[in-house]
Structure 1
Amino acid sequence: MSRPPAAREKLLGAYCSLLRTEGERAATMDATAALAGVSKGGLLYHFPSKDALADAVIDRLLQTASEDNERMASAPEGAARYYVRTSTAGDTEFDTCYQAVVRLAAGSYAPAAAALDRVHGDWERLVRQDVPDPHAAEAIMLIGEGLYFHSTMPGSWSRSLVGSDIEALLGQVDRLKEGR
């Protein structure tokens, strides 16, 4: 598959960055074009509307989530351990898209909320396939969600308290899977 044009990639990156740092209202077409260093005409060539730009970010999220779900489903350690181990925010393409889509959903963009439902539903399905007890699976999902939430908080207070010993948390995942 051929690589998308550089201008298109710059625009998607700029839009995600604005969504993450400034919010949905500040992520205007003009601000996106300016941050990307692309003319407004160049932006409109690739994305004729703000919805088209938002939909492209959602598509990117779903693509990267699908790739990660394949890794999660085939992880030798099991889906539950994989989910918890990878549940901290980083500077990955997935995290960038995920946080941007969260901001779109917070701005009441229905396709963004639907995409997040799909991503979370896929994670839950994979964890539940790995963990027979539904309550244990739910607890594992909450561990991962808590890790992610705290890793996205500003400052260091949260990261110094939560998830600092991932191996201990993975041991807890093992105990939950075993019903202990």
Structure 2
Amino acid sequence: MAQHRDSARESILTAFQELLINTSGSGASLDAVAQAAGVTKGGLLYHFGSRDGLETALIERLETLAAAECDRMRAAPNGAAAYYVTLTEYVDSPLDRATLAGGTLARRNPRARGVVLEMRRRYFDILNDDLRDPELARATMLLADGLYYDATTLAEPFEHELDVPAFLARMRPARG
């Protein structure tokens, strides 16, 4: 029975997340979330208590996924920078979807905004530790943002595709 409760809760939270993304937040009413999740509004409120409870759960999902991503970045065998700009497993991943929804929520929810900003700060710190240069760390973040934009909006390779590992090797300062 507890597993069914957990799966219903996750379905509701995922429906909320996807409505935030797909409607820029405007279509993520409790009624719409309940309908998208296939539950009654009472069922939604049983699991989350209120809109605030739903938002808190989404923020917690994002925090958990971002913390795991930071661990993967730190442990990446080719370095955090090479890992960070590799999008093959990121686009449409649970972290990607939670980040997009969190960004939408951050426009009006100060806690969500704080979590998104802290997530980016942690990514920067990990990249800076890897590259040992704050400007290169920031440039790497911007590079990844641009690659993500291409991957999610163009859905096809750019005419002059970037050899990311070779580019990063050229950027990386000599370690001595």
User: Common fold, TM-score beyond 0.5?
Assistant: yes
- Structure 2 counterpart of 1:171: 166
Report runs of 4+ in structure 1 exceeding 4 Å deviation: none
Q: Is the 8 A contact 1:85 1:170 kept in 2?
A: no
Going from structure 1 to structure 2, the CA distance change for 1:111 and 1:150 (only over 3 Å counts) comes to farther
Partner residue, 1:110: 110
Distance (Å, rounded) in 1 between the aligned partners of 2:19 and 2:8: 16
What is the RMSD computed on CA atoms of the aligned residues?
A: 2.1
Q: What's 2:158 paired with? A: 161
Report the Cα distance in structure 1 between the residues aligned to 2:133 and 2:13, rounded to whole angstroms.
40
Structure 1: gaps (5+ residues)? none
SS at match of 1:5: helix
Q: Percent identity?
A: 34
The answer on whether the counterparts of 2:80 and 2:126 sit within 8 Å (CA) in structure 1 is yes
Name the CA distance, whole Å, in 1 between partners of 2:26 and 2:12. 17
Q: Which residue of 2 aligns with 1:20?
A: 21
Residue of structure 2 equivalent to 1:51 = 52
Is 2:148 the partner of 1:148? yes
- In the alignment, structure 2 segments of 5+ residues that lack a partner are none
What is the one-letter code of the residue matched to 2:141?
Answer: M
Q: Which residue of 2 aligns with 1:120?
A: 120
Indicate the residue corresponding to 2:73 in structure 1: 72
Question: Once the two structures are superposed, what CA deviation does each residue of 1:90-144 show, in whole Å capped at 9, x if it has no partner?
Answer: 22111111111111113x2111111111110110000000011222222111101
Q: Is the 8 A contact 1:83 1:144 kept in 2?
A: yes
C-alpha distance in 2 between matches for 1:122 and 1:8: 29
Taking structure 1 as the reference length, what is the TM-score of the superposition?
Answer: 0.87
Counterpart residue number, 1:83: 84
